[in-house]
């Protein structure tokens, strides 16, 4: 079901999104070679709790009978890991790595969802370009995130921009409506046909999240039942904000 948020609900969405943004800032400030993804996850968890929020990814159901719920407060995906990487005490970041961090803050019943890919120390020009294109893909998409346009207009803009830059978008995962639930309708693929899908209306809150692969579009799931990696081993980047559809331009709620 697509939910249209009331004025009051929008205020609560903004608060949750603000926590997500502040938490990202805390992570970004602590990223350096030698730190483990578990340590970064602890920083994120403590930041969210201090701000009166709950890390909503923790204990998120896997969807498999034999795979435990998500064990951490953030998803931390390194290099060829696309999304849903599990923070680990045994994974130290190295100079030249790229780290995708995806987190959801749940505050007063509403969710704020945000992802970024960060450079660890000095990274290659190719990796830098991938991160920049992924970010730009989001902004190309939200040019169309306006009242009366359709979801397919946003999807198409993201997919075509990424293709024009020589990269691939992930097909199996997509953006989504967000509110009281982390994942609400509509689904928002990062590719598609313009003019298709539901019409956008003021009061919709959406998580738009290009997931971009340097090489081919194919992905694999690791045996942990969570981590998604690129099949060809090439790098992947992620850029996500929660936005609000308004009467005019969209508002980006996870950028302070
Ligand atoms: Mg997310």
Q: What percent of the chain has pLDDT over 90?
A: 100
Query: How far, in Å, from the CA of 210 to the mean position of ligand 1?
Result: 10
Query: How far, in Å, from the CA of 209 to the mean position of ligand 1?
Result: 7
The confidence score (pLDDT) of residue 243 equals 99
Residue 66 confidence class, pLDDT cut points 50, 70, 90: very high
Mean pLDDT value of segment 150-154: 98
Q: What percent of the chain has pLDDT over 70?
A: 100
Residue 148 confidence class, pLDDT cut points 50, 70, 90: very high
Query: How far, in Å, from the CA of 101 to the mean position of ligand 1?
Result: 9
Mean pLDDT value of segment 66-94: 98
pTM beyond 0.85: yes
Provide the residues around ligand 1 (an ion) whose CB is within 5 A: 102, 113, 115, 240
| Joined tokens for residue 240 | 């996500």
Query: How far, in Å, from the CA of 135 to the mean position of ligand 1?
Result: 14
The confidence score (pLDDT) of residue 53 equals 98
Beta strand extents in the chain (DSSP E only): 54-55, 75-78, 81-83, 98-107, 110-119, 168-169, 175-177, 184-188, 205-208, 211-213, 219-221, 228-230, 236-238, 241-244, 251-252
> In this model, does residue 130 exceed pLDDT 90?
yes
The confidence score (pLDDT) of residue 103 equals 98
Contact 28, 116 (CB under 8 A): yes
Query: How far, in Å, from the CA of 249 to the mean position of ligand 1?
Result: 22
Query: How far, in Å, from the CA of 24 to the mean position of ligand 1?
Result: 12
> In this model, does residue 1 exceed pLDDT 90?
no
Give φ, ψ of 177 to 5 degrees. Answer: -65, 160
Residues 198-246 have pLDDT tens digits of 999 999 999 999 999 999 999 999 999 999 999 999 999 999 999 999 9
The confidence score (pLDDT) of residue 136 equals 99
Query: How far, in Å, from the CA of 169 to the mean position of ligand 1?
Result: 16
Query: How far, in Å, from the CA of 104 to the mean position of ligand 1?
Result: 6
Query: How far, in Å, from the CA of 205 to the mean position of ligand 1?
Result: 13
C-alpha to C-alpha distance for 204 and 245, rounded to whole angstroms: 5
Cβ-based neighbours of 215, under 8 Å, separated by 6 or more: 168, 230, 232, 233, 234
Residue 86 confidence class, pLDDT cut points 50, 70, 90: very high
Query: How far, in Å, from the CA of 200 to the mean position of ligand 1?
Result: 20
Mean pLDDT value of segment 16-45: 98
* Closest to 188 in 3D by CA, of 167, 214, 213, 207: 207
The confidence score (pLDDT) of residue 73 equals 98
Burial of 146 (0-12, 13-18, 19+ CB in 10 A): middle
Average pLDDT, the chain: 98
Mean pLDDT value of segment 52-72: 97
C-alpha to C-alpha distance for 50 and 6, rounded to whole angstroms: 27
């Amino acid at each position: 079901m697509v939910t249209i948020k009331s004025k009051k609900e929008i205020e609560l969405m903004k608060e949750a999104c603000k926590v997500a943004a502040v938490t990202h800032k805390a992570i970004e400030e602590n990223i350096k070679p030698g730190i483990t993804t578990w340590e970064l996850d602890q920083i994120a968890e403590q930041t969210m709790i201090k701000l009166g929020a709950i890390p909503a990814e923790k204990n998120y159901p896997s969807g498999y009978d034999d795979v435990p719920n998500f064990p951490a407060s953030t998803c931390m995906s390194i290099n060829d890991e696309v999304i849903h990487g599990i923070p680990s005490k045994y994974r130290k970041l190295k100079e030249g790595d790229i780290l995708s961090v995806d987190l959801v803050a749940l505050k007063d019943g509403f969710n704020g969802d945000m992802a970024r890919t960060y450079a660890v120390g000095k990274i290659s020009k190719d990796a830098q370009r991938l991160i920049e294109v992924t970010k730009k893909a989001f902004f190309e998409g939200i040019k169309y995130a306006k009242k009366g346009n359709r979801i397919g207009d946003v999807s198409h803009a993201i997919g075509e921009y990424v293709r024009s830059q020589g990269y691939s978008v992930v097909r199996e995962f997509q953006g989504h409506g967000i509110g009281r639930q982390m994942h609400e309708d509509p689904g928002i693929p990062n590719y598609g046909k313009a003019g298709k899908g539901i019409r956008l209306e003021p009061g919709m809150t959406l998580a738009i999240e290009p997931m971009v692969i340097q090489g081919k579009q194919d992905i694999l799931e690791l045996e942990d039942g969570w981590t998604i990696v690129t099949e060809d081993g090439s790098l992947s980047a992620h850029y996500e904000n929660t936005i609000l559809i308004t009467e005019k331009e969209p508002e980006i709620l996870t950028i302070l």
